[in-house]
Chain A
């Protein structure tokens, strides 16, 4: 049985969750531990923390956050953003993160993927890929870095095959054309990637409704769906998302 995962994504800056999360009765909307525990109780399958801390000297706060979350929350979580070296990954994994995701640094130095995979196992090595449609790329999609600002000239499907070969255990695929639009996942991109690899693919970017989550699995063939705003702003609960997916015939872990 293939069971789709529903993954809320939280942005963190210097160890605090930003872009406010609107739970009722929340004591501290910036506390990653409280929010993670809340999402666990609501039935989230995993969590992704995207570290947007700009200054590198404050990154130790992210390590402390990983430790605090791991102390209290017993579902898997991934930390991504700003991981440049094997040492960065090691600190977060030792602190209790289950997986780290690498993006720009992997494009710059692909061996980072094999280094993390070799030392800690493929299961904790997520490669995040930001893709944008491009007429110049053979697959129609090009890899971007630096949060979608920088072109790489690398074809998305070629990069996907490369990171799988290097030992990635999972791909977190974000459509930069859709990210923030609330128009739904870029399903063509998602299905191309998800059917091209033998490792799990998380679809990301563009979710504005529960039906978008359904489509990500049925049409996008994704193994997991990631969303931020529809959960954070109280529009929908994890339970509602899973109910809708189950109604569409997608196996999910009930909440």
Chain B
């Protein structure tokens, strides 16, 4: 392939996507904020961002039809990355929004971080690797990332957990299965570490584009 891999950041009208786009550009992508189904289908990698709360994000995804677009991108085998609430909506549902179904890519639930720690966790924390996933390639430990969240996915059987952080106990910080990566922290706000993680995704997108 030639040029920069095309990374489509799904724009469904939720929150600030500016930093995500700029972060992926810094990391070497041709990053577009888009709701255009053709562009999303043509992209080498697809990113599902999300801030705020689970229910409004799911509602906005449904309203824009980007829930289906996201699921098709997941099924296509192209690199796919969920960030923050964009990670949480890949799960079956959330304590935050009883009765609201998530996209169900991962079949367990998102739960409140147990007390008595302060919520949200709004701080930098260390990613403790679980296995050796390429999301965290070319990073030296300790890996510091910026978190803002009050809920996190259940640990499950942990086979898809890429990293945890310690916040009153182990909290799922990143998961991955096949082509789907997801981060509870904000790589686009985690300085040089975060840009490396975005670059790892861009590299994976470039590799997928050549196949």
- Check if B16 is an interface residue, CB within 8 A of chain A: yes
Partner of B191, one of A74, A93, A94: A74
Q: Closest B residue to A119 by CB, please name it.
A: B52
- Check if A253 is an interface residue, CB within 8 A of chain B: yes
List A residues 225-255 near B (Cβ within 8 Å): 253-254
Taken together as a complex, chains A and B put the C-alpha atoms of A198 and B191 apart, in Å, by: 27
Are B124 and A121 in contact, with the CB atoms below 8 A? no
User: Interface size on B (CB < 8 Å)?
Assistant: 36
- Check if B106 is an interface residue, CB within 8 A of chain A: no
Q: Closest B residue to A201 by CB, please name it.
A: B118
- Check if A111 is an interface residue, CB within 8 A of chain B: no
Are B146 and A76 in contact, with the CB atoms below 8 A? yes
Taken together as a complex, chains A and B put the C-alpha atoms of A207 and B204 apart, in Å, by: 46
Are B190 and A121 in contact, with the CB atoms below 8 A? no
Partner of B118, one of A1, A76, A198: A198
0 or 1 for each of B153-172: is its CB under 8 Å from A? (1 = yes) = 00000000000011100000
Q: Which residues of B contact A72 (CB under 8 A)?
A: 22
List A residues 65-95 near B (Cβ within 8 Å): 67, 70-72, 74-76, 93-95
Taken together as a complex, chains A and B put the C-alpha atoms of A83 and B51 apart, in Å, by: 21
Q: Which residues of B contact A224 (CB under 8 A)?
A: 123
- Check if A170 is an interface residue, CB within 8 A of chain B: yes
Q: Which residues of A contact B63 (CB under 8 A)?
A: none
Taken together as a complex, chains A and B put the C-alpha atoms of A4 and B122 apart, in Å, by: 10
- Check if A61 is an interface residue, CB within 8 A of chain B: no
Are B190 and A170 in contact, with the CB atoms below 8 A? no
Are B16 and A2 in contact, with the CB atoms below 8 A? no
- Check if B194 is an interface residue, CB within 8 A of chain A: yes
Q: Determine how close the nearest CB of chain A comes to the CB of B131; give it in whole angstroms.
A: 21
Q: Which residues of B contact A223 (CB under 8 A)?
A: 118, 122-123
Partner of B119, one of A5, A74, A198, A254: A198
List B residues 47-63 near A (Cβ within 8 Å): 51-53
- Check if B19 is an interface residue, CB within 8 A of chain A: yes
Query: Which 10 pairs show the lowest CB-CB distances between chains A and B?
Result: A121-B52, A96-B18, A253-B124, A123-B148, A1-B166, A253-B144, A3-B123, A76-B189, A200-B122, A70-B18
A-B contact pairs, 28 of them (CB 8 A): A1-B165, A3-B123, A70-B16, A70-B19, A71-B18, A71-B22, A74-B23, A74-B191, A74-B192, A74-B194, A75-B190, A75-B191, A76-B189, A93-B15, A95-B18, A96-B16, A96-B22, A120-B52, A121-B15, A121-B51, A123-B52, A123-B148, A123-B149, A170-B122, A199-B119, A200-B122, A223-B122, A224-B123
Residues of B within 8 A of A (CB): 15-16, 18-19, 22-23, 26, 51-53, 115, 117-120, 122-126, 144, 146, 148-150, 165-167, 186, 188-192, 194-195
Residues of A within 8 A of B (CB): 1-5, 40, 45, 67, 70-72, 74-76, 93-98, 119-124, 169-170, 198-200, 223-224, 253-254
